Amino acid sequence: MTPIHTEEAGGLVCRFAGEVLRIEPWGPDALRIRARPNARDVLPGRVEVLLPPAPGAAATVAIAGETARITHGRIAAEIRMQIRLGAEVKREPVLRIFRADTGETLLEEARGHFAGPAPRAFKAIAGDSWRLEASFAAQEGEKLYGLGQPQHGCLDLKGVSTTLVQQNTHVVIPFVLSSRNYGFLWHNPATGRAEFARNITRWTADATAQLDYWITAGDGPRDILSRYADATGHSPAFPGWASGFWQCKLRYRTQEELLSVAREYKARGLPLSCIVIDFFHWTRMGEWKFDPAEWPDPDAMMAELRAMGVETMVSIWPTVQSNAETWSEMREAGFLMRTERGAPVTNVYPDKHPLALHYCTYYDATNPDARRYVWGKARDNYVKHGIANFWIDSCEPELRPNHPEQVRLALGNGAEVLNAYPHLHIQGFREGLVEAGHPDGVLLVRSAWAGSQRHGVILWSGDVWSTWRDFRAQITAGLHAGLSGLGWWTTDIGGFYEGIGKDAGFRELLVRWFQFGVFSPVCRLHGFRVPDELPLPNDGVPTYGDDTFRIFTATGGANEVWSYGEALERIFVDLLFLRERMRPYIMAQFAEHARSGAPVMRPLFFDFPADPACWDAADSYMLGPDLLVAPVVEPGATARPVHLPAGARWRCAWTGAEHPGGRCIVAEAPLDRIPLFLRDDAVLPITA
């Protein structure tokens, strides 16, 4: 009789009823699990972000009849044959993953009903593609974190159901950290869904060739994040200039307008590390070059900015409109994303020359030749002028309507691979920068995937609204991003949409958001402000005063630190210099993140896992190990409750008042002050 279980290449393989299930050691205390129906063996990942594991101690495989076990350090997995009376298949192999040292279950496959679907449910679509559901038993009291950058505002993901589809503001990095001391990576670029219900945990892939995930056991969040960074790549060293203040708005229309803002910052003696050139500086989407009518001398512009000590970043979109000079060449070369049926376009969007709605599509970032082509345009039209920092915008890609199964790429149907699009697009730019002699060039991205941190990217939270609700959600968005490996993170200070500069309510929100931005990993002022000359709305719904075409080619309202009146200017200037004083501390946290994977901005439980209240603290966080930050997130508030974690002494950074840990206090928070607490004997330059 053919054996069900075999030991192969240091791993455990189970073949039963046409399915192959392979479990391999993949880094210290970690396993990779793959399964494929109708096959003798599994495949490499469609997009491999797991790095080859370094040589280490071998796993131990033990087979006893129809039960088999693989043990690798602190983690072990067992496959046993499950008898299911009343099911369509009477026997099936079921997997349990547990701590090798304690026997505690970490993850266990489960059926919702004896008649199905199975724990690994493959539903044939066509050819070698399947719709996949992987179901696991829900564990009582478990809390989950990560999964990229969600906007639902929840810190604990237990009870959350969410799409695995890249969208503006909603970033999919399918890694979760569990309070049960394991980390789990859904190593699959397919679109789908993740559900963390009270009764079941379920991961869904809309179209895939196989099941593929990675799991590691650790002794706390810090240990687990370190293993994840080892497995998917560490961030490089963070460029020092990028820890300063960034000025940005939608949009500076001309070279002279941009320079005038930089000159004004310097004339006022204000810190300015970077000024950003937003979209529509180009001729047409997909030509990737400055419009000479508005940006006549980029070399002179860059020389003046360099003399002021100001870095520059330019917005790059992966879109190509059908009127672009590159369209025909790219289409004939197979460099454009295609639709499965119908016209070869995926979007309709305003663009210039002529000013109108245009059909456009995205270049195919899954095609390495297409990546090299697009990078070549960026190199020849930007890098040659001295610009080596790129704002990788709209890189989800942003399909309208969002039907991934309707598009075709070199690596497969969109439903199979589209979540990895931003990762591959980013990879092309990083490889190009290295080849061009600019390995430290900064990439600001609107989307990313597992492993993108190794390409040195700053994730920002996308086009969020200027509301208190959205502001609150940015705290948890940044925390989840850091727990997903993306420690370089930022948000649009003030939000992107519908900020009215002369509205008192927005001004209060902007101050509180600016305070949060100063104590975020990256500090960047950005937004599409309602033009200043427009009246306040009577119905509460702001207008930009023009049609869609003009909105995107015009400039929004002013968005510099002096744009909101003298009272706010004084607050913002104090905050700018506070950020300057904090830069050495922040740079030290970036260095630690590169070394160990520890997020710069992290939940309280990361440093204080023994305090149960820290696992639910969604509106405060640690910036590095020594500073607790508690943003004010309610309008009109001049005080707020703050939980001070047990296991440390705490000192108000403003008053010096000391508090024991393990209790909640009420912190004073006038408009010009964000509650900050120093741990134990830490000394930071909060006050001048």
CA 56, CA 364: separation in Å to the nearest integer? 38
Instruction: Give the N- to C-terminal CA distance of the chain in Å, as an integer.
Output: 78
Q: How far is CA 97 from CA 22, 78, 104, in A?
A: 13, 6, 9
CA 408, CA 338: separation in Å to the nearest integer? 5
Biggest distance spanned by C-alpha atoms of the chain? 85
Helix (H, G, I), strand (E, B) or coil at 337: coil
Q: How far is CA 374 from CA 95, 291, 317, in A?
A: 44, 18, 10
Q: Cα-flanking dihedrals φ and ψ of residue 9, to 5°?
A: 50, 40
Catalytic residue among 223, 278, 398, 463: 463
Contact 129, 208 (CB under 8 A): yes
Any long-range contacts for 7-12 (C-beta under 8 Å, 24+ apart)?
A: 7/61, 7/63, 10/58, 10/59, 10/61, 11/59, 11/61, 11/70, 12/59, 12/61, 12/63, 12/68, 12/69, 12/70, 12/77, 12/79
CA angle 135, 136, 139 (to 5 degrees): 150
Catalytic residue among 223, 393, 492, 498: 393
Q: Is the dihedral of CA 373, 377, 382, 385 positive or negative?
A: positive
Catalytic residue among 133, 396, 398, 416: 396
Residue 510 identity: L
Q: Quick one: which H or E segment has residue 234? A: none
Is 256 labeled as catalytic in the residue annotation?
Answer: no
Contact 339, 265 (CB under 8 A): no
Is 393 labeled as catalytic in the residue annotation?
Answer: yes
Residue 35 identity: A
Helix (H, G, I), strand (E, B) or coil at 492: coil
Q: Quick one: which H or E segment has residue 247? A: strand 245-247
Which residues are CB-contacts of 673 (< 8 A; sequence separation ≥ 6)?
Answer: 654
Burial (CB < 10 A; 0-12, 13-18, 19+), residue 431, is: middle
Tokens of 363: 């270049």
Contact 190, 196 (CB under 8 A): no
Tokens of 34: 């793959």
Active site residues: 393, 396, 463
